Structure 1
Amino acid sequence: MTQEPATRPSLTVVIATLGRPEPLTRALDALAASTLAPLEVLVVDGDENRGARSVVAAHRGRLVSLRHVPAPRGLTRQRNVGLDEARGDVVLFLDDDVRVRPDTLERLLTAYREHDVVGATGCVVEPASNRIGGKGSRVRILLRGRGRDGTFTRAGFPRRLVDESVTTDIEFMQGAFMSARTSVARQVRFDERITGYGLAEDEDFSCRLSRRGRIRYLGDVPVEHDNAGFHAKDRRAFGHQVVRNRSYLFEKNFPQSRSARARFALMLVVLVIHRLLNRDVAGARGLAEEAWRRPRPARPYGENGAGAGATPAQR
């Protein structure tokens, strides 16, 4: 592994993990094969038994400044702990089941040559989660409205990139692979009211980050993401969480016009139909149940299935 030149921003890699030693091992193996050595790699362990400690110990000597960092359980909490510990100019957040390619880190940092760039990401290659209307489906063109791909609708839903090979400015990043200038990220931080799995915390973070400068999407910088946790979820409970968290983030980050609220309600209907088309009856039921009883104002979905945290201030 080659050390980075002084003119290139230094990089901290933060991996939040919870009881998944096998994927974490593969993630660290991939980082060890990188053509650019990050300044440090922080494995932020939310497991009370600190199960990632042995994985980190096995990789010491192969990675520069690899550290095991204990933290309270919860994705947003763990990422904030890593952010507070980071010493690099740029911080890269990786899921523990992501594998970078040898040139990923080096090519990602090229985005930061432009001083107004505050964040950067690339193409996340992962197994298809749906038969119909997946994240790369052209059906999404019908739902994006007048805005361009890579931005948010007035209702707070992301307009996914249909062409993932492009290089462009965007307003949201996928949490499996997202980076930011550390100084700006510390001003934005992750919302710890979004607990547990942290559904849509990445969209919330990058939405607020995009208001501080440009976020670059590099379609020719791919990573592999197993997305293992998604398939293991209780689909009905996950449907509840989707409505609760999206309601919270919509009310937190976007103006509450009558037309925006109508579009938000319409998108919930579209999500229910989408689940049914993909034969996810439990997921559709969870969405419909939570939409029917959705409180005002919304609160994020807690680990025990209840709303967590205080009501957000309205913009």
Structure 2
Amino acid sequence: MKIVVVIATFGRPEHVTRLLAQLEKQTRLPDAVIISAPDAGHIPSSTASTFPVSTLLGKTGLPAQRNIALEAALDRFDIVTFFDDDFIPEDTYLAGVSAAFDKQPDWAVITGNVLRDGASSAGLTWDEGIQALAEANPTAEAPGVDKLCGYGCNMAIRTAFIGNLRFDERLVLYGWQEDVDFTSQLRVKGRVVGLNSIRGVHLGVKSGRVSGVRFGYSQVANPVYLIRKGTVPLTFALRLVGKNLLANLARSLWPESYVDRRGRLRGNLLAISHVVRGRVEPEYILEI
């Protein structure tokens, strides 16, 4: 099975360089890597690798950048694996993906086990991420666990099941919950599976992300939009909105140094005011 790795990036060329170097260590190398970025200023000056690396430029926003890569990949590869530029896969990651899809023809999506996730903290350095992988205990092969969706920092998808499905470009810029929207729709084609034996570390780098107000708006507007679209369960989306709203409200008095809680809360409240008036527009963050 031919595997392409897609890296959608914004403002972090040094992380793309580090990820490409990590991919060289895979026991099963990718057949190709596609880097999708708004322009050449977002990618490293050199991408020389033992596997083919191509760059696609001209679109901004995670869903749009992933879509342009899909258009280039679908007819040429059996598996497309999406890695965030700050995700470090274990050296056996792609070999595990290939073997699992080969054994399980009804699997549509595989998402790996994130050993540490800096997205929920101040973030991790590359050295910390590599150390976490080195210290991880070996894991025995285990059956896949059915999931509602894949986790966007690391998810592999059987291209034969994608068809005309694309990431929703109304979820602009950071595209929060675009992974949930896209992969949950693939459950009608096959299983969406979490596999503990396929592992990595998500550094959760804070650069290249949207402002606190914009992200706070997306925390409310995007789940409500997906409820209307019918791609996420009502309980899942409302629980997500409530959790983030309460966290931003509670921590706005003593915010963490790495989170703009007050900005997020302002964005939450602005989105709620829009939703109450019947205005559900994820792309409104472009006007903020």
TM-score class, shorter-chain normalisation, is: 0.7 to 0.9
- Quickly say closer, same or farther: Cα 1:17–1:130, change in 2 above 3 A: closer
Distance 1:188 1:79 in 2: 12
Counterpart of 1:275 in 2: which secondary structure?
helix
1:272 corresponds, among 242, 245, 253, to 245
Shift of 1:266: 6.5
Q: Residue 286 of structure 1 corresponds to which residue in structure 2?
A: 267
State the AA in 1 paired with 2:52. S
Matched, 1:67 2:54: yes
Q: Residue 123 of structure 1 corresponds to which residue in structure 2?
A: 113
Over aligned residues, Cα RMSD in angstroms? Answer: 2.7
Distance 1:266 1:52 in 2: 37
TM-score scaled to structure 2, two decimals?
0.79
8 Å Cα contact 1:168-1:217 kept in structure 2: yes
Counterpart of 1:188 in 2: which secondary structure?
coil
1:182 corresponds, among 159, 162, 180, to 159
Q: Residue 10 of structure 2 corresponds to which residue in structure 1?
A: 18
8 Å Cα contact 2:220-2:271 kept in structure 1: yes
Q: Which ranges of structure 1 fall in alignment gaps of 5 or more residues?
A: 1-8, 132-164, 307-315
8 Å Cα contact 1:14-1:93 kept in structure 2: yes
Counterpart of 1:193 in 2: which secondary structure?
coil
Counterpart of 2:244 in 1: which secondary structure?
helix
Matched, 1:54 2:45: yes
Distance 1:186 1:254 in 2: 17
Instruction: Please list, as runs of the form range in 1=range in 2, the aligned pairs for 1:1-315 lying within 5 A after superposition.
Output: 9-47=1-39, 49-52=40-43, 54-56=45-47, 60=48, 62-86=49-73, 87-112=76-101, 113-124=103-114, 125-127=116-118, 129=120, 167-229=144-206, 233-253=210-230, 260=234, 268-278=241-251, 279=255, 280-294=261-275, 295-296=277-278, 298-305=280-287
State the AA in 1 paired with 2:86. D
**Mean Cα deviation higher: 86-95 or 71-80:** 71-80
Counterpart of 1:228 in 2: which secondary structure?
coil
Q: Whose helix fraction is larger, Structure 1's or Structure 2's?
A: 2
8 Å Cα contact 1:16-1:46 kept in structure 2: no
- Quickly say closer, same or farther: Cα 1:96–1:129, change in 2 above 3 A: same
Identity level (%): 28
Distance 1:15 1:274 in 2: 30
- Total equivalences in the alignment: 256
8 Å Cα contact 2:223-2:237 kept in structure 1: no
- Quickly say closer, same or farther: Cα 1:265–1:218, change in 2 above 3 A: closer
Distance 2:162 2:13 in 1: 28
TM-score scaled to structure 1, two decimals?
0.73
Distance 1:266 1:94 in 2: 27
